[in-house]
Amino acid sequence: MSDWSPEVYGRFEDERTRPARDLLAQVPRAEARRVVDVGCGPGNSTELLVERFVGAEVVGLDTSPAMLAEARRRVPAAHFAEADAATWLPESGTDVVFANAIYQWVPEHLAVLPRQLAALDAGAVLAVQMPDNLAEPTHVLMKEVAAAGPWAAKLRGAARDPLPSVTTYYDALKPFARRVELWHTVYNHALADAAAVVEWVKGTGLRPFLDPLDDGERGAFLEEYTRRIAAAYPAARDGRVLLRFPRLFVVAVR
């Protein structure tokens, strides 16, 4: 895929940061020596970690040069490096591994997360949040538009796989953990209109569908997708629309 855009991602920063705050609130550590933010993006989650763990070495990791540049500008107190979430492992002395909305993009994350947890010292925490929204209209309609248009061959396989069951995560992590907590939270974000819903997913879930297309195809795809989104997300009395967004949270203590 093309590089991530901090500007597009940041249009809904408050809504995107809310799950990171909720995840961090459940991390059972008052202090930490080293904290790693995997998939740090533009640094919004890293900023929370610096504020929470005063005096800790906080490191943000990402594969996007543009996101890392923005994170360095935004959070000068942290260190940042390019790294792949699919292969990275924590070094000794890491007390918190924090991952906000990154591992849904890693197809083999069900094998990666237990390896990361096993590499941690006793008492360290792995805290992960992932969107669990593939059954929502935003993502169902992506697949429908992809399959129905002249771009169908280009977009075959663009959709990511749904998350496994919570029992599957529990069974994978529990052999390496003294405690595993799993829960879902459903957010209902009040956005300006249906076009804002499209702008939201353009920064994340829609990218694998748009990147393979040329400019003309991309415009036609977005036109049809926006039409369907407008029908699927009716306006409330004040004209805004509610974007329903389920997310899965996992906190495992080594």
pLDDT of residue 7: 59
Question: What whole-number distance in Å separates Cα of residue 42 and Cα of residue 169?
Answer: 28
Q: Which amino acid is at 60?
A: G
pLDDT of residue 9: 54
∠ Cα 32 33 37 (to 5°): 75
Q: Is the dihedral of CA 87, 65, 99, 104 positive or negative?
A: negative
Tens digit of pLDDT for each residue in 241-251? 999 999 999 99
What are the structure tokens assigned to 195, written together? 């076009």
Q: 36 near 96, Cβ under 8 Å?
A: yes
Q: How many CB atoms lie within 10 A of CB 219?
A: 11
Instruction: Give residue 180's pLDDT band: very low, low, confident or very high (50, 70, 90).
Output: very high
Tens digit of pLDDT for each residue in 42-84? 999 999 999 999 999 999 999 999 999 999 999 999 999 999 9
**CA-wise closest residue to 110 among 163, 146, 69:** 163
- Write down the mean pLDDT value for the chain: 95
Question: What whole-number distance in Å separates Cα of residue 102 and Cα of residue 21?
Answer: 15
Q: Indicate the class that CATH gives domain 6-132+161-191+238-253.
A: alpha beta
The alpha carbons of the chain give a radius of gyration, in whole angstroms, of 19
Q: 112 near 126, Cβ under 8 Å?
A: no
pLDDT of residue 5: 54
pLDDT of residue 13: 82
Question: What whole-number distance in Å separates Cα of residue 248 and Cα of residue 129?
Answer: 6
- Taking the model in full, what pTM does it have? 0.93
**CA-wise closest residue to 197 among 148, 133, 137:** 137
pLDDT of residue 37: 98
Q: Which residue has the higher pLDDT, 33 or 16?
A: 33
Tens digit of pLDDT for each residue in 215-247? 999 999 999 999 999 999 999 999 999 999 999
Q: Which amino acid is at 209?
A: F
pLDDT of residue 123: 98
CA–CA distances in Å: residue 66 to residues 43, 59, 90, 117: 11, 17, 23, 28
Region 115-133: mean pLDDT is 98
pLDDT surpasses 80 at 109: yes
